[in-house]
Amino acid sequence: MGAEVSSVVDLAGDLAGRYRRTESSGGTVDPAVAQADLDAVLRDGYVILADLLTPEELAEIRREVRPLLDRTGRNNFEGHATQRVYSLLNKTRSCDRVVAHPRVLALLDRLLMPNYLLSMIQAINITPGEAAQMLHTDDGFYPLPRPRKALSAATIWAVDDFTAENGATDIVLGSHAWGNRLPADTDERVPVVMPAGSCVFFLGTLWHGGGANHSPAPRLALTAQYCEPWLRPQEAFTLSTPHDIVRAVSEDIRRMLGYSIHPPFIGQVNGMHPKRLLKTDVPEDD
Ligand SMILES: O=C(O)CCC(=O)C(=O)O
């Protein structure tokens, strides 16, 4: 009997000739730190990564993102008193650090397959008077029954301090391990209280939602979400990101935007590596 493989990916390996797989900056994180983060995520479904952004980085995010907050949500999910900015990578470079923070990548490297993708990057500003958002999971739109491994992971970054009053993200403890059950009224919503510059990293299977804002001030956050490389991301970044932006971002972000191959062939362009598009904007034949 032949050796066992978990998928054809193991058989094929990296078939690319010129554009080989690139290493994630998660590799720069102390393995003991990454392991402790991973242990917490696997046990609790989430971990709070405290104080990852400097005051200067936070100030730049506020300066760049606040002027983009020009509309409120269109439905109960987006929130009628919540402002959202999508496609942030096309509008500012200030959020790049959040999208590809090494502590986050180190966790993703351990939870998802290589060449996992960015699924979403948006700003969420919950303004005073907003009601609690409906509880949901971030990988629930992939129609595979639970319980199962998470197909995605998310971060929510506090740009303002997250408090129990101002709309800190609520989570349902232990819900990452549930089967197909839905939250009940008796399931407690626990606010993720954390200082600005911190993020909560959680599995796509964890039930959560934006909190109600009972404070007099808005609560600004960024959320970056990531999915397995064989799934369709929520935002179609390969369609929406101009090539000059793809060239301008870091290799970590470029790879997560879809300029990478899930072996042997997922993500190809005309039978070639998608990075060839960045050289000439026209797929080459060689
Ligand atoms: O803003 C938050 O705290 C959470 C929002 C959220 O989970 C979502 O809109 O998908």
pLDDT tens-digit map of 63-90: 999 999 999 989 888 889 999 999 999 9
CA of 27 to the centre of ligand 1 (A): 29
Rounded CA separation 277/243 (Å): 8
- Check if 213 has its Cβ closer than 6 Å to any atom of ligand 1: no
Q: What is the mean pLDDT of residues 145-169?
A: 98
Give the chain's domain count. 1
CA of 210 to the centre of ligand 1 (A): 5
Contacts of 5 (CB under 8 A, 6+ apart): 11
Q: Encode pLDDT of 233-247 as tens digits.
A: 999 999 999 999 999
User: Considering the chain, what percentage of its residues have pLDDT values greater than 90?
Assistant: 86
Q: Is 101 part of any domain?
A: yes
Tokens of 121: 């990057």
Q: What is the mean pLDDT of residues 91-105?
A: 98
pLDDT higher than 80, residue 280: no
DSSP state letter for 146: S
Query: What CATH number did the domain enclosing 235 receive?
Result: 2.60.120.620
Q: Is 27 part of any domain?
A: yes
pLDDT higher than 90, residue 111: yes
Tokens of 278: 């960045």
For 117-150, give one letter per residue: b (16+ CB within 10 A) or e: bbbbbbbbbbbeebbbbebebbbeeeeeebeeeb
Q: Is 4 part of any domain?
A: no
What pLDDT does residue 286 have? 45
Q: Is 47 part of any domain?
A: yes
CA nearest ligand 1 atom 9, residue: 78
Q: Is 265 part of any domain?
A: no
Q: Which ligand 1 atom sits nearest the alpha carbon of residue 221?
A: 1
Tally of CB atoms within 10 A around 236: 10
User: Considering the chain, what percentage of its residues have pLDDT values greater than 70?
Assistant: 92
Q: What is the mean pLDDT of residues 212-238?
A: 98
Contacts of 172 (CB under 8 A, 6+ apart): 135, 183, 187, 188, 189, 190, 206, 207, 208
CA of 35 to the centre of ligand 1 (A): 26
- Check if 191 has its Cβ closer than 6 Å to any atom of ligand 1: no
What confidence category does residue 20 fall into, taking pLDDT thresholds of 50, 70 and 90?
confident
Q: Which ligand 1 atom sits nearest the alpha carbon of residue 79?
A: 9
Q: What is the mean pLDDT of residues 18-25?
A: 86
Rounded CA separation 211/219 (Å): 10
CA nearest ligand 1 atom 5, residue: 210
What pLDDT does residue 3 have? 61
Tally of CB atoms within 10 A around 227: 26
CA nearest ligand 1 atom 2, residue: 210
Helix (H, G, I), strand (E, B) or coil at 202: strand
Q: Encode pLDDT of 177-204 as tens digits.
A: 999 999 999 999 999 999 999 999 999 9
The candidate with the shortest Cα–Cα distance to 216, out of 160, 170, 165, 161, is 165
- Check if 169 has its Cβ closer than 6 Å to any atom of ligand 1: yes
Q: What is the mean pLDDT of residues 12-19?
A: 71
What pLDDT does residue 218 have? 98
- Check if 124 has its Cβ closer than 6 Å to any atom of ligand 1: yes
- Ligand 1 pocket: which of 119, 156, 192, 219 to mutate (most atoms <8 Å of CB)? 156
Domain of 153 in residue numbering reads as 22-260
pLDDT higher than 70, residue 10: no
Q: Is 81 part of any domain?
A: yes
The beta-carbon contacts of 146-151 under 8 Å, at least 24 apart in sequence, are: 146/178, 146/179, 146/180, 146/205, 147/177, 147/178, 147/179, 147/205, 148/205, 150/111, 150/176, 150/203, 150/204, 150/205, 150/206, 151/204, 151/227, 151/228, 151/231
The candidate with the shortest Cα–Cα distance to 229, out of 218, 237, 221, is 237
Q: Which ligand 1 atom sits nearest the alpha carbon of residue 211?
A: 3
Tally of CB atoms within 10 A around 26: 19
Q: Is 2 part of any domain?
A: no
Q: Is 267 part of any domain?
A: no
CA of 222 to the centre of ligand 1 (A): 9
